[in-house]
Amino acid sequence: MEPVSILIMQVYMPTLEYEDDEVEKLYDTIEEILEEDGKGDKNNIIVGEWNSTVGDEPYRDIVGSHGLGRGNHRGQMSIDFCERNGLIVTNTWFKKPRRRLYTWKEPGDWSQHHLDYILAKHQFRNIVKDVQTLPGADVESDHNLLVAKVRTRLKKIMIPEEQA
C-alpha cells in the first residue's frame, strides 16, 4: 500500500446571522484550496464548526443515519458542498448515545445540536473507525470536543546519522 498524503483544514463557518452569500464565499474559498492542494489520491479532511445541521436522514453515501435532529437549509448547503467535492460527514455514520452525538448546547437551554463535523474524502471512508464527542472534556468552550479514530499504517523512516 502506497503512502497517502493528507490535507487537513479547520473551518469556522458563519453563523445564521450572516447571509447565505457569505457562507457560499467561504465554501468557494475551501473549494479553491481543495482544487489547488487536495487533488488526486490525497485524503482531504475538513474539521470544524459548520453552523449547520445535516440531520439524521441518510443521503446517498454522504450522510449516514446517525446524525442528530432535523436538517436545515445550511445543512443542505453542507451536503451539497460534500457532494461536489467527494466528501462524507463522518460523524453521521456511527451509532452513538445522544450524549456522544451533540456538539453544542445553547447556554441555559436543554436543546442539543449537531453543528460540528469532520468531513473526509469518500475514497478514504474506511480509515475512519469511530467519531464521537467527549462532553466532559475541559476545553473552555460551549462546544463538546469532537474526536475521530482513524486507522493508519505508519512506515518506519530511517534517517541517516549525519542528518539526525
| Domain of residue 33, CATH code | 3.60.10.10
Find where cell 549525519 sits: 162
Asked if residue 15 belongs to a domain, the reply is yes
- Read off the pLDDT of residues 66-122 as tens digits, 9 standing for 90 and up: 999 899 999 999 999 999 999 999 999 999 988 888 888 877 767 888 889 999 999
Residue 76: what pLDDT? 97
Cell digits of residue 79: 451536503
Residue span of the structural domain in which 59 resides: 6-150
Which of 4-8, 80-84, 156-160 is predicted with the least confidence, judged by mean pLDDT?
Answer: 156-160
Least confident of 99-108, 123-132, 147-156: 147-156
pLDDT at residue 158 tops 60: no
In a domain, 158, yes or no: no
Q: Considering the domain boundaries, does residue 115 fall inside one?
A: yes
The band of 144, judged by pLDDT with boundaries at 50, 70 and 90, is confident
Report the share of the chain in percent with pLDDT over 90: 52
Cα gap 82→85, rounded to integer Å: 5
pLDDT of residue 55: 93
Read off the pLDDT band of 5 (50, 70, 90).
confident
Would 161 be classed as within a structural domain? Answer: no
Could you report how far apart the first and last alpha carbons of the chain are, in Å?
Answer: 27
Grid cell at residue 77: 448547503
Kindly state whether residue 1 falls inside one of the protein's structural domains. Answer: no
Q: How confident is the model at residue 38 (pLDDT cuts 50, 70, 90)?
A: confident
Residue 159: inside a domain, yes or no?
A: no
Total of domains in the chain: 1
Residue 127 lies in a domain: yes
Map the chain to HEC letters.
CCCCCEEEEEEECCCCCCCHHHHHHHHHHHHHHHHHHCCCCCEEEEEEECCCCCCCCCECCCECCCCCCCCCHHHHHHHHHHHHHCEEEHHHHCCCCHHHCCCEECCCCCCEECCEEEEEEHHHHHHEEEEEEECCCCCCCCECEEEEEECCCCCCCCCCCCCC
| Residues 42-66: tens digit of each pLDDT | 889 999 999 999 999 999 999 999 9
Residue 139 Rama label (left phi>0; alpha psi -120 to 50; beta):
alpha
